[in-house]
A and B are shown apart, each in its own frame.
Chain A
Amino acid sequence: MKIEAKNVNFFYGPDQVLRDISMSIKKNTVTALIGPSGCGKSTFLRLFNRMNDLIETAKLEGEILIDGVDIYNKNINVNELRKTIGMVFQKPNPFPKSIFENVAYGMKVNGITDKSIIEESVEESLKQAALWEEVKDKLKKSAFALSGGQQQRLCIARALAVKPSVLLMDEPASALDPISSIKIEELIYQLKASYTIMIVTHNMQQASRTSDKTAFFYMGELVEFDDTRTLFTNPKKERTQNYITGRFG
C-alpha cells in the first residue's frame, strides 16, 4: 500500500473534525474524496502533507503511513516530507513571479543551483502539466498574465517539479470554466501513470470520470469507501445513495 490512514481522529481545539478514519490507497491510483461542505474531506487531504500543522490548535490521533513510514513520527522532517507529497490548491495560486521562476521555485528551496538541471526540469514539468506548448515562448512573462486554467496547470507543473510521488488536489477545478476543467481532468488521467493521486471534489461527475476509488465523507466520518463504479452505481449505505443522487448536500 502506498498510503494508509489508521484510526485517524482529528481535532481543531475542542472540535472533532474527523472520526476514526481508516483507509488504504494503492500506488498509481486516483482516489476521490467527496461529501458535503464541512464534512472534513479537505482536512483529511491536508493530513498527508501535514499542512494542518500550520494551524496551532490542530491535534491528530492515529497513524498516517506513506510507503510504510509514519509521517507524524518525531524524526520526520516536515519540509522534506512536503517535497515528496505535492499539493494543488482550490484557487490557482501562482507566485507573483515569472512562469519559469514559479516552476523553478521548488527546486530552488531544495538547494538545486545547477542551471541546466533546473531548465530541464522546468521544461519537463511544464510538458507533464500539458502547458509547455502554450508558454514555451513566454517563460519570462509574469504568471499572472495566464488564464485561470493555465495558472492552475502551472501550479500543477510547479508541484511536479520537485518530483513528488503523491499528488494531493484540493478541488483543483472548482474555480475554472468547464473547458479548463476538462483539461485538468485529462491531465489527472495521464498523471496517474507516474503518481498516486488524491483529489477532493464537489463535482460528482468529475469524481466518477477521474477516479478509481471514491470515499464518501459525512460529518467527519468515512461513510463508504469503494471502487468508484460500485460506489456510484450500487452504494451500500443509504446516506451515500442520498448524497450521490442529490437528495442532500
Chain B
Amino acid sequence: MIPEKSIKSMRRQKILLARLQTITRTRYYKYQDIAFKYFGLFCTILGIAILVLFLANLIYTAGARLDWGFMTNLPSRKAAKAGIYTAWVGTLWILSLTTLIALPIGIGAGVYLEEYNKKGKLANILEINIANLAGVPSIVYGLLGLELFARFIGAGESLLTGALTLALLILPVIIVSTREALKTVPYTIREASYALGATKWQTIWNQVLPASMAGIFTGMILALSRAVGETAPLIVIGALAFVPFVPSSVFDSFTVLPIQIFNWVSRPQKEFSVNAAAAIIVLLSITFMMNGIAVYLRYRWQKKIKW
C-alpha cells in the first residue's frame, strides 16, 4: 500500500505540472500573436516596396523624357520625336464615351435589380450571372465587341466600338456597386417618402438615388480606372494600328495610352522603351487621380450623411 502522504504529493506534482504547461502554452500563444503581427507587416511593406521601387525606376529612366513636347507630339518612327498626343486624346475620348454609355445603363440595371425585381428564381439567375460576368476575362469581351459592334453593327475599328466594348466590360462592376450603394439607404427613408403619398419612382428619384449618388459615382470611377488601363480587348477590336491623327468623331480609328505603351515596348530599339516608361507615368497619374477622386467622394459622403 502506498502511504497517503505520497499520494497527496503526487497529486500536488501533477497540478504543478499542469500549471507549468498552461504557462508555456499561453506564452506560445503570445509569441504566435507577435509573429503573425510582424508577418502581416512584412507582407504589407513587401507589396508597397515593390510598387515604390517600380515607380522610382520609371521616374529615373523616363523622368527626363517627360516634357511638353512628349505630350503634344504625334507618333513617329524616330523615338526622340515621338509623342503621346494621339494616345492621351484617344484615352480621354474612350473614357467619356464609355461613361456616357455605361453610366445610364449600369444605374438603370442596378436600380431595377435592387428596387423593382421581385425576389424569385429569375432574380437569382440574373444575380448569379452578373457576378459571373464581372469575372469574365477582358479578351473575351474584346472578341464579343469585334463580332457584335465592329462587324455586325458595322462600327468598324472605331472609337464607338472601343467604347461599347469597354462599357460592356465594366457594366457588371457598375451594376454591383450601384446596388451596394442603394442598399445603404435605410428602409425608413423610403417608408417616410411613401407615407407622404410619393410613388415608387418619386421615392427612388428624389430620395434613394440622391442619397446613394456618391457611392454610385465612386463605383463608376473605380470601374473606369480599370477600363483606362485595358489593352487586350482594344487590341482584339483592331486598335493596334498606326494612327497619326487625333480622332474627330466617334467613327474614327483611335489609339489609347496602354496600346501606345504596348506598341513601344514591343519595338527592338532601346529608345522606345524609355518612351514607354514615360507614357506609363502619364497613365499611372491618370489612374491615381481617378482613384483619388473616388476616395475623396466617399470621404465627403460619409461626412455629410450619417444614418
Measured CB to CB, the residues of A under 8 A from B are 49, 51, 54, 56, 79-83, 86-87, 89, 91, 93-96, 105-106, 108-110, 142, 144, 155, 158-159, 162
Contact = CB atoms under 8 A, between A and B. Distances in A.
A146 B120 CA distance: 41
Size bracket, chain B contacts? 20 to 34
Given A91-B188, A93-B188, A86 B195 contact: yes
B20 interface: no
Q: For the complex of A and B, list the 7 residue pairs with the smallest distance between their C-beta atoms, beginning with the closest.
A: A83-B197, A106-B196, A93-B188, A87-B195, A82-B197, A109-B198, A79-B197
A51 B191 contact: yes
Given A79-B197, A105-B196, A106-B197, A95 B207 contact: yes
Most A C-beta atoms less than 10 A away, residue of B196, B202, B304: B196
B198 A51 contact: no
B192 interface: yes
Contact of B118 (A56, A93, A162): A56
B189 interface: yes
Nearest to A107: B196
B195 A51 contact: yes
B298 to A, nearest CB: 16
A155 B195 CA distance: 11
Interface string B179-215: 0000000101101111111110010001100110000
Contacts of A96: 189, 210-211, 304-305
A81 B196 CA distance: 9
Contacts of B189: 93, 95-96
Nearest to A155: B192
Given A81-B197, A82-B197, A83-B196, 9 more contacts: A49-B195, A79-B198, A79-B199, A82-B194, A95-B189, A105-B196, A106-B196, A108-B206, A110-B197
A109 B306 CA distance: 25
Contacts of A83: 196-197
Contacts of A105: 193, 196, 198, 206
Nearest to B205: A109
Given A95-B207, A108-B206, A144-B306, A54 B194 contact: yes
Nearest to A108: B206
Contacts of B196: 82-83, 86, 105-106, 109, 158-159, 162
11 contacts: A82-B197, A86-B195, A86-B196, A89-B192, A93-B186, A96-B304, A105-B198, A106-B198, A108-B206, A144-B306, A162-B196
A105 B205 CA distance: 12
A56 B116 CA distance: 12
A89 B194 contact: no
B172 to A, nearest CB: 27
A95 B192 contact: yes
Contacts of A79: 197-199
Contacts of A93: 186, 188-189, 191-192
B188 A162 contact: no
A40 B258 CA distance: 63
A200 to B, nearest CB: 14
A87 B193 CA distance: 10
B194 A51 contact: yes
B269 to A, nearest CB: 58
Given A95-B207, A105-B206, A80 B194 contact: no
Nearest to B197: A83
A5 to B, nearest CB: 19
Contacts of A51: 191, 194-195
A32 B193 CA distance: 24
Contacts of A110: 197
B124 to A, nearest CB: 16
A108 B207 CA distance: 12
